[in-house]
Amino acid sequence: MAERPHQDLVDFASNNGWDRAYEQYDDFDLPTYVGLPTFMKLPWVPGAAELRARKADIAIIGAPFDDAVSHRPGARFGPRAIREAQYTSGSINSLQLGVEPFEVLDVVDAGDANIVPAWIDRAHAFIYRKVRDVAATGAIPIVLGGDHSITWPSATAVAEVRRPGSIGIVHFDAHADTANEDWGVLAGHGTPMRRLIESGAVKGSNFVQVGLRGYWPPVETFEWMRANGLRWHLMREIEERGADAVIDDAIAEALDGPDAVYISVDIDVIDPGIAPGTGTPEPGGLLPREVLRAIRRIAGSVEVAGMDIVEVSPPYDHAEVTAMAANRIALECISALAKKRLDGHPVRFEGADRR
Ligand code: MN
Ligand code: MN
């Protein structure tokens, strides 16, 4: 029997062909399942000082918080799922908009707010601080929730940074989220829009809701909305007039006074047959293509002050379809803003630099 060569003398790499000059790739260009799961494999830049120094145009923020839900939990896992729900990497190109967004804009992932479980007040405080710190650098925050209660601190932070200007809000949701309280809790996910308006962060007359439907408790909510000048568009109106006409009205209403818009997308505005991973599903909703088109049209035609995408609950999702829709909503906003930059319009909030 022949003696096997002593392993010290064997060049395994050469013998096995592992010393070939393979090309190596940057993390950004590797497949999405390799490396750190930042949004679209963009740079992880959690510090405000660095955001300011590089003049980042857009910053993704995670708000992994769901202690304020009224029904199904799980949205605390939303930011990570939304970051992961994509298979393209590197410098991608939008067919719908004809733009490579990451060649045009500096888009980064600014990390998550400093959240611990079971403490609503603390979570909202840290979401407010994180969004305010990012927005104050001039970068446009895109916040991944989290339950919808996070819109109260997030939109408040953006409104504050925009002073003395003001923001309007276009709110996509099956629900108005304007209840006074959820079983006595003022900061539940059914109440953030009332808190935003009551506190003076946003005027009721510049608050526009799109996609409301379903079965709710009786009329007190709508009485309050009417008394405070909110505008809303039921799903029924979209069925009758078409989404484009309704979105045109929503843009005009949100901008009737303010100079920029904050977009808040509760993923349950999409039909739960298509986006089941959410806390309070309401059958009869929009198609993803209608929401994506609406986002393109809004971001392409008005100044975007900030955005959130909320209520994605991965435990109720399957095949990542809800997380993918949310990922694409963020990406569609980014691409529309990139197209706008190419056309010569500003994207960053330059007012932040003068503060
Ligand atoms: Mn909802
Ligand atoms: Mn909501």
Q: Which domains does the chain have, with CATH numbers?
A: 37-345 (3.40.800.10)
Mean of per-residue pLDDT scores for the chain = 95
Q: Which pLDDT value is given to residue 331? A: 98
Cα of 103 vs centre of ligand 1, distance in Å, is 34
Cα of 32 vs centre of ligand 2, distance in Å, is 29
Q: Which pLDDT value is given to residue 8? A: 75
Cα of 185 vs centre of ligand 2, distance in Å, is 16
Cα of 175 vs centre of ligand 2, distance in Å, is 6
Cα of 266 vs centre of ligand 2, distance in Å, is 5
- Kindly tell me the burial class for residue 179, based on how many C-beta atoms sit within 10 Å of its own C-beta (0-12, 13-18, 19 or more): buried
Cα of 147 vs centre of ligand 2, distance in Å, is 8
- Distance, in Å, from the CA atom of 215 to the CA atom of 206, rounded to the nearest integer, reads 25
Cα of 172 vs centre of ligand 1, distance in Å, is 8
Q: Which pLDDT value is given to residue 2? A: 59
Q: Which pLDDT value is given to residue 351? A: 86
Q: Which pLDDT value is given to residue 5? A: 59
Cα of 328 vs centre of ligand 1, distance in Å, is 19
Average pLDDT over residues 52-64: 98
Cα of 92 vs centre of ligand 2, distance in Å, is 31
Q: Which pLDDT value is given to residue 257? A: 87
Average pLDDT over residues 81-100: 96
State how beta strands 58-63 and 107-112 pair.
parallel
Cα of 107 vs centre of ligand 1, distance in Å, is 28
Q: Which pLDDT value is given to residue 133? A: 98
Q: Which pLDDT value is given to residue 4? A: 64
Cα of 214 vs centre of ligand 1, distance in Å, is 10
Kindly tell me if the per-residue pLDDT of 100 is higher than 80: yes
**Partner residues linked to 242 by β-bridges:** none
pLDDT tens by residue, 323-335: 999 999 999 999 9
CB-based contacts of 246, cutoff 8 Å, min separation 6: 210, 233, 237, 238
304 phi and psi angles, rounded to 5 deg: -90, 125
Cα of 99 vs centre of ligand 2, distance in Å, is 31
Average pLDDT over residues 19-30: 95
CB-based contacts of 353, cutoff 8 Å, min separation 6: 138
First to last CA, the chain: 82
Single pTM value for the model: 0.96
Q: For residue 281, give the ligand nearest its CA.
A: 1
Cα of 268 vs centre of ligand 2, distance in Å, is 7
Kindly tell me if the per-residue pLDDT of 337 is higher than 60: yes
pLDDT tens by residue, 271-318: 999 999 999 999 999 999 999 999 999 999 999 999 999 999 999 999
Average pLDDT over residues 139-153: 98
Cα of 127 vs centre of ligand 2, distance in Å, is 17
- Distance, in Å, from the CA atom of 213 to the CA atom of 223, rounded to the nearest integer, reads 17
Instruction: Indicate the SS3 state at residue 315.
Output: helix
The model's confidence at residue 259, banded by pLDDT at 50, 70 and 90, is confident
Kindly tell me if the per-residue pLDDT of 355 is higher than 60: no
Average pLDDT over residues 133-142: 98
Kindly tell me if the per-residue pLDDT of 345 is higher than 90: yes
Token pair in block for residue 26: 């940057």
With contact defined as beta carbons under 8 Å apart, do 62 and 113 qualify? yes
